[in-house]
Amino acid sequence: MPGVRGRTGPGVTGAFDLAVIGGGTAGLVAAQAAAQKRRRVLLVSDGPLGGECTWNGCVPSKALIEAASVRHTAANADRFGIRVGDVSVDFAAVMDHVHGVINDIARYEDESHLEAAGVVVRRGRAAFVDAHTLAVGDDRFSAEHFVVCTGSRPAIPAIDGLDGVPYLTNETIFELREQPRRLLVLGAGAVGLELAQAFARLGTDVEVIDVEEVFLPREDPEIATVMRDILESEGLRLHLGVQPVRITRADGGVELTVRDGADERLLAGDQILVATGRRANTEGLGLETVGVRVGERGIVVDAHLRTSVRGIFAAGDVTGTLPFTHVAAYQGRLAANNAFERQQAASYRVIPWVIFTDPEIAHVGLTEPEARRVHGDGVRMVTLPFTAVDRAVIARRTRGLIKVVTGGRPVIGHAGGGTILGAHIAGPGAGELMHEFVVGMQVHAFSGRLAQAVHAYPSMSVGVQQAVGRLFEGGRAAAVELREDLMS
């Protein structure tokens, strides 16, 4: 693009084929996908490139989880006959590790890499002037198409006194340099549980508070039960079905009053982490000026990621669809392609979910109750505890469960094991093991194909083969025996 490509800064103006607003995962993928097709692309970002995932979400949280896992393994090394003595934590050094990981990943998401790919980067806050023009500071940029990828931020609940205490969110917790002795966590979702377990394994006394009575309501009930037992056995205290009433400062920390039925209880901590969901970033973009419709969850898009205004698309967390980095990447690429080519509808039929606790929780497709509501008596289900997986026994990591839900096909019914309706794992490497089921569901394979495929022994993935194998005659009796062993 003569005269534009590769230039950045306040003097850059011009016309583009595509303007992307937001430099997080969806924005980066959308910009690069369009640039690969030799489109003239502008990316505008008012925050660090890489967005939430790199700086405040996936990357730092998993780096902290890895550090906590090392400490937990060392503290329990006597299971293997290894004596390590007391295991101490240098919390500031742990946080240095976290930020080192952030920097290692962020360096591949900087302006130089985007410029080399043919993307013009402009720093600043963008707002629509009209349906064809963006304002960034004093400059104006026109484009044929736009993709809004401005992400989300922590949703802060309306609790009396919360704004008067220095609460933490995922955007601030990784700046801590001193480890809290006591931590209160509001929210028992993925973010809350991941960070709660990590801090607990580093030695912090952690209590988790959630208004939901059901633990992990989006997960299969059996998986949720297994995971709750594991977390509570590690010392996490879960307060479910309670309503936060007020928060006050006390003794250098905070006190949280919760209502449990007709009673009120007081919980105390040095710090409080708010992990109660996300809110789409739609303010200040001039969306109302051009008529882009915004709903309660974010920008409203159709199956092709088009907004209510022709030529303007949206992708990632700002749509409120599924708050996952892999979904943001998928939507960003799709939106950029749909802006110029034959329209392709987004499909969320096969989207893996992973909670990166230890062990991990992963699922794809329908839970057993969901499948039975849709398919009735045509549903079959098998489970396999990790006590039956030799690699898990070797690693002394046998707490967990693999669960497979299948349904029959027209005419042939459950021949070949039927079709995979859902798979659910709580156990070591669940997020990795889940992708066998993801691929199987994506290509509409018979579930039996996973049992037929030769799996390297003694890998953890043999557990997938074993679990699916129990859908067939030779494995059913053993499946019943193992299920009874698990539930005893």
Residue 73 lies in a domain: no
User: pLDDT by residue (tens digit) across 167-184?
Assistant: 999 999 999 999 999 999
Same domain for 267 and 245: yes
Same domain for 285 and 143: yes
Residue 104 lies in a domain: no
Question: Mean of the per-residue pLDDT values for the chain?
Answer: 93
Tell me, what CATH number does 285's domain have?
3.50.50.60
User: pLDDT by residue (tens digit) across 103-116?
Assistant: 999 999 999 999 99
Same domain for 237 and 215: yes
Answer whether residue 27 shows pLDDT above 90. Answer: yes
Same domain for 208 and 124: no
Report the distance separating Cα 135 and Cα 9, nearest Å: 14
pLDDT at 408: 85
Domain that residue 364 falls in? 353-487
Single pTM value for the model: 0.92
Residue 207 lies in a domain: yes
Work out the angle at residue 420's Cα, subtended by the Cα atoms of residues 415 and 425, and round it to the nearest 5 degrees.
130
Residue 185 lies in a domain: yes
Answer whether residue 484 shows pLDDT above 90. Answer: no
User: pLDDT by residue (tens digit) across 320-358?
Assistant: 999 999 999 999 999 999 999 878 999 999 999 999 999
Same domain for 147 and 44: yes
With a CB cutoff of 8 Å and minimum separation 6, the contacts of 161 are 246, 247, 248
Q: Which of 224, 251, 276 is the last residue of a domain?
A: 276
Residue 100 lies in a domain: no
* For range 243-255, the mean pLDDT: 94
Same domain for 190 and 131: no
The SS3 of residue 118 is: coil
* For range 38-51, the mean pLDDT: 96
pLDDT at 251: 84
Report the distance separating Cα 426 and Cα 376, nearest Å: 25
User: pLDDT by residue (tens digit) across 442-476?
Assistant: 999 999 999 999 999 999 999 999 999 999 976 54
345 burial via Cβ count (<10 Å: 0-12, 13-18, 19+) = exposed
Residue 79 lies in a domain: no
With a CB cutoff of 8 Å and minimum separation 6, the contacts of 335 are 26, 30, 147, 305, 313, 314, 315
Give the number of other CB atoms < 10 A from CB of residue 346.
Answer: 18
Same domain for 189 and 140: no
pLDDT at 4: 42
Q: Contact, 23 vs 49, CB < 8 A?
A: yes
Same domain for 389 and 480: yes
Same domain for 310 and 240: no
The SS3 of residue 318 is: helix
The total of structural domains in the chain comes to: 3
Per-residue pLDDT band for 487 (boundaries 50, 70, 90) equals very low
Same domain for 316 and 245: no
Give the number of other CB atoms < 10 A from CB of residue 269.
Answer: 22
The residues with which 206 forms a beta bridge, in sequence order, are 183
Give the number of other CB atoms < 10 A from CB of residue 270.
Answer: 17
- The CA distances from residue 31 to 13, 27, 208, 337, in Å, are 17, 6, 39, 10
Residue 429 lies in a domain: yes
Answer whether residue 386 shows pLDDT above 90. Answer: yes
Tell me, what CATH number does 464's domain have?
3.30.390.30
Answer whether residue 482 shows pLDDT above 70. Answer: no
Same domain for 384 and 261: no
- The CA distances from residue 307 to 25, 135, 303, 319, in Å, are 19, 19, 10, 10
**Cα atoms in the 13 Å half-sphere on the side-chain side of 230:** 22
Same domain for 292 and 145: yes
Report the distance separating Cα 83 and Cα 76, nearest Å: 9
* For range 254-280, the mean pLDDT: 96
pLDDT at 342: 78
Q: Which two tokens stand for residue 387?
A: 């006590």
Residue 21 lies in a domain: yes
pLDDT at 411: 61
